[in-house]
Structure 1
Amino acid sequence: MSALVVSNISKAYRRYPSKWARAREWLTGKVHHEKTFVLRRVDFTVLPGQAVGIIGVNGAGKSTLLKIITGTTQPTEGSVSIKGRVAALLELGMGFHPDFTGRQNAFMAGQLLGLRIEEIEQCMPAIESFAEIGDYIDRPVRTYSSGMQMRLAFSVATAVRPDVLIVDEALSVGDAYFQHKSFNKIRDFREQGTSLLIVSHDRNAIQTLCDRAILLDSGLVRKDGSPEEVMDFYNALIAEKENATVEVRRLENGRTQTISGTGDARVESIELLNEKHELTEYVNVGEPVQLKVRLRLYADLPELVFGYMIRDRLGQSVFGTNTHHLGVALKGLVKGEQITLSFSFPASIGPGSYSVSTALHVSDTHLAENYEWRDLALMFNVTNIDRKPFVGSSWIPPNVDCLR
């Protein structure tokens, strides 16, 4: 049984050529408007306990989709089916009255979520404890900071475990401490069977919390798949320029590689060398290694920046840098020129499989002028051969002093 079923949702708004056209339409019965679709045939299913991330640029239709799912906006076409109780954190403090106290707003918001007065009274101590806003709970909400509003809104929405939890970008307002606290609660809910629908531009949040991601672009579902695959495609999409292309390849190991860019500069080869300068796919924790990259120019370029990002098996960023930040200037380049770059560093990361993404661009980011963005350009494994046992993604061996 699915927790959430979105069936061929479309949403269109009427656009009138003038302020009088609406009145003429009402008086004459003739159509004087055009329909502008913000969502077109959006279709997906969320299973119990599954976490799905919704990503896309501003204006892609994410917020409209969430409003339709929560029932605050009706679709033009299609339907939504939800099993169980839904809790939603959409616009920050939505439904809060600024002149009422936090406690009064908690009661009102709780009732909007379908809770009875008796249930809210039982939950109030837990809401106050989780929100950690102290005496402000009995002060008007207009005196709250945006972070305090988010704390209270999240605490009320999660006071009783919902069957479906919908979270927009509201959590990004909170401080780091409360974000960690909130994400831990979301993980606990997921383990208990709550389905999660989250909208965020935070790659780590999507890849850490979600089993799956959906990319919306101009109201259409452009991609539906693993968080790593969809986020890679999304990054390539926002870097795409007038003459750029986005290419998706299925590798032999089953993973999906995304390549984008104008092609004016390309990575011809990339190699990982061990401390003996031999090609390797397996590295010991802390072993000195060298990333050797060969570039070729396919156009005259006044400037070029090469960057790389090491990611873990979940696609989360471990370390990244580029020649711009390292102070290596590549200027006055001509078509046909070849460049070899070598980056030496210790593999001070935990055991596991890793990938390297590469980018060729100008300035400090590939968003300025994307010549080539290549995910999964290289894959390697780190093993613990002779280090003392440890856990975590980083190898930071300490010296210990013990005084008695």
Structure 2
Amino acid sequence: MSAQLHVEGLSKSYARWSNEWLRVLSWFGLPVKPVEQHNVLRNISFTVRPGECVGIVGQNGAGKSTLLKLITGTLQPTSGRVTRTGSVSAILELGMGFNLDLTGRQNVFHAAGLMGRSQAEVAAVIADIERFAEIGDYFDEPVRTYSSGMQMRVAFSVATAFRPDLLIVDEALSVGDTYFVHKCFDRIKEFREQGTTLLFVSHDPTAVQALCDRAILIEAGSLILDAEPKQVIDYYNALIAKKEQAAITVSTLEQGGVSVESGSYEASVEGVALLNERGEATEYLEVGEIVTLSVRVRVRDPLENLVFGYMVRDRLGQVMFGTNTHYSDQGLTSLQAGEELVFEARFAAALGPGSYSISIALADAQDHIGRNYQWKDMALMFAVVNASRDYFIGSCWLPPKIAIKSSLQAAQ
């Protein structure tokens, strides 16, 4: 199958010159050097197949937005090339291409024209765009009167008025209200089912894992990982938590899958077990079964604070539940080197049938962004089966008591 998008050796740098004459001379290939050169992207290469959804993940300033602008052609690379096939629609910077003095309706014609659509084509779908945006009379008001959420509504509506072969979505959706964001994702999923290729930039791990077939991680302008979404998100979280003396390791598990671990290891996980009510270690649970997560921790250096946390995740890496001892007001203080602790979390496995994993975190506060002693992804894996409950679908077991009331019975 031919590539929808091929990025090869893409680099982008910005130079600062001592005077403009030297800048002009550089255009003609003369050997003049700038005072300073800032490399935003370095030798990025990847391929996206037709119908594939690829997430782009990275910290602020990593170069994600620059990469998208190079792919769409709004920026030119310093070196390398981008090869695209088919029609492209992009939502990059919020309101990009909008004239603030024009109304929403006028901007739709203007923006769609920049996308290569004729006035007649836009006129044929303008009612659908207005209906999807749902901003009422503001559609005929100047865009300068819009909130950021309203701008996003119009921008997304016009960008997706015609199904493109390649849809590129940057962080613009992050400013929308919950209702409209759900509406946008429904349209994106619909396009995907119809064969649209998607490039999706987001800091929302749930969205990346739910939508994407794979993800790439950009760090300091370089592509450092191209893998399945869960592995990329875990590595990204480890990078955020990484401090001096911290290490990041990636390992392949015997059960399958890849585990990412990071930390400075002033405290470390020595053992993890899931115990049934008889106190026996188990990897197979029944829906709703009462279990205890037992985690043994060794304190290696004196610690002022220690917070223990865990997350239960499904096979796609989406979080089913997570908590820690900060939220339960059980954070520990003044711990001595060599001390051993056992944390026990007892809960009902109110989960749907399937495979799950548990991730463990040891930190000094409510998250591992401050001092990350250890983050251990996929520390334990287990399966849930439905052997005795009524049949149900979904990731959670929420058994109802269903009452049925008839109007005829009420009349009698």
Pick the TM interval, shorter chain: over 0.9
**Which of 349, 374, 384 is 1:372 aligned to?**
374
Question: Which residue in 2 is equivalent to 1:220?
Answer: 222
Q: Is the 8 A contact 1:8 1:41 kept in 2?
A: yes
**Which of 275, 278, 291 is 1:276 aligned to?**
278
Q: Is the 8 A contact 2:15 2:34 kept in 1?
A: no
Q: Secondary structure at the match of 1:31?
A: coil
Q: Is the 8 A contact 1:305 1:364 kept in 2?
A: yes
1:381 and 1:32 map into 2 onto residues whose CA distance is 59
1:370 and 1:15 map into 2 onto residues whose CA distance is 38
2:357 and 2:263 map into 1 onto residues whose CA distance is 20
Q: Give the counterpart letter for 1:7 in structure 2.
A: E
Aligned residues: 401
Question: Which residue in 2 is equivalent to 1:13?
Answer: 14
1:240 and 1:214 map into 2 onto residues whose CA distance is 19
1:93 equivalenced with 2:90 (yes/no): no
Q: Which segments of 5 or more consecutive residues in structure 2 lack a partner in the other structure?
A: 407-412
* Higher mean C-alpha deviation, range 385-394 or range 81-90: 385-394
Question: Which residue in 2 is equivalent to 1:381?
Answer: 383
Question: Which residue in 1 is equivalent to 2:409?
Answer: none
Q: Secondary structure at the match of 1:41?
A: strand
2:246 and 2:144 map into 1 onto residues whose CA distance is 48
**Which of 180, 184, 187 is 2:186 aligned to?**
184
Encode CA deviations 1:239-296: one digit per residue, 9 max, x unaligned.
0101100011111133111111111110100100112221111111111111011000
Displacement, 1:104? 0.5
Displacement, 1:24? 5.6
2:23 and 2:123 map into 1 onto residues whose CA distance is 51
Question: Which residue in 2 is equivalent to 1:239?
Answer: 241
1:254 and 1:83 map into 2 onto residues whose CA distance is 35
Q: Give the counterpart letter for 1:13 in structure 2.
A: Y
Q: Give the counterpart letter for 1:9 in structure 2.
A: L
1:128 equivalenced with 2:126 (yes/no): no
2:195 and 2:24 map into 1 onto residues whose CA distance is 49
Q: Which segments of 5 or more consecutive residues in structure 1 lack a partner in the other structure?
A: none
Q: Is the 8 A contact 2:276 2:282 kept in 1?
A: yes
Q: List 4+ stretches of structure 1 deviating above 6 A.
A: none
Q: Give the counterpart letter for 2:192 in structure 1.
A: R
**Which of 342, 345, 348 is 1:346 aligned to?**
348
1:197 equivalenced with 2:196 (yes/no): no
2:254 and 2:40 map into 1 onto residues whose CA distance is 37
Q: Secondary structure at the match of 1:397?
A: coil
Aligned-residue Cα RMSD (Å) equals: 1.3
1:3 and 1:24 map into 2 onto residues whose CA distance is 39
Q: Is the 8 A contact 2:86 2:166 kept in 1?
A: yes
**Which of 136, 144, 151 is 1:142 aligned to?**
144
Question: Which residue in 2 is equivalent to 1:333?
Answer: 335
Q: 1:116 to 1:330 in 2, by over 3 A?
A: same
Q: Is the 8 A contact 1:21 1:33 kept in 2?
A: no
Q: Secondary structure at the match of 1:325?
A: coil
Q: Secondary structure at the match of 1:130?
A: helix
Q: Give the counterpart letter for 1:15 in structure 2.
A: R
Counterparts of residues 247-266 of structure 1 (less than 5 Å): 247-266=249-268
Displacement, 1:180? 0.7
1:226 and 1:25 map into 2 onto residues whose CA distance is 43
Q: Secondary structure at the match of 2:304?
A: strand
Question: Which residue in 2 is equivalent to 1:229?
Answer: 231
Q: Is the 8 A contact 2:308 2:331 kept in 1?
A: no
* Higher mean C-alpha deviation, range 384-393 or range 306-315: 384-393
Q: Secondary structure at the match of 2:360?
A: strand
Q: 1:26 to 1:88 in 2, by over 3 A?
A: closer
1:269 and 1:106 map into 2 onto residues whose CA distance is 59
1:85 and 1:204 map into 2 onto residues whose CA distance is 28
Displacement, 1:23? 4.4
Question: Which residue in 1 is equivalent to 2:156?
Answer: 154
* Higher mean C-alpha deviation, range 45-54 or range 392-401: 392-401
Normalised by the size of structure 1, how large is the TM-score? Answer: 0.97
Of all paired residues, the percent bearing the same amino acid is 55
1:59 and 1:232 map into 2 onto residues whose CA distance is 19
Q: Secondary structure at the match of 1:64?
A: helix
